[in-house]
Amino acid sequence: MEELKGNGLKIFDAIFARKKIVEIDGIEYAIKKFSSGVQYVDLFGYRYIEQNRNKKSEWGKKAREGHKIMWIIKGRRYIAQILDGEYKILKK
């Protein structure tokens, strides 16, 4: 889980700095975009995804207010959240 946090924080920084790539363990990974403009990185079976500002959810509202929010997902399960640089494991 420490690796997940470390990778997550690196990807978070790269996404919100609007970079095109993120380097992890000396390997460069592309920061991709959905047609909605939402940025994400797929890495070791996890998806690191920026919060969609256009969602009508509480999180979409926070993103519109300027908060930086990223989710770490595996399959359909939300594993962790990084909110304004603070990493948080999501419990079931």
| pTM of the predicted structure, to 2 decimals | 0.93
State the residue range of the domain holding 53: 2-89
| Closest alpha carbon to 18 in 37, 35, 45 | 37
pLDDT band at 12 (very low <50, low <70, confident <90, very high): very high
pLDDT band at 2 (very low <50, low <70, confident <90, very high): confident
pLDDT of residue 86 exceeding 70, the answer is yes
Q: What is the pLDDT of residues 31-81, one digit of tens each?
A: 999 999 999 999 999 999 999 999 999 999 999 999 999 999 999 999 999
Count how many domains the chain has. 1
Q: How many CB atoms lie within 10 A of CB 64?
A: 12
Compute the distance between CA of residue 4 and CA of residue 20 in angstroms, rounded to an integer.
20
pLDDT of residue 4 exceeding 90, the answer is yes
Geometric angle at alpha carbon 73, from 60 and 27, rounded to 5°: 110
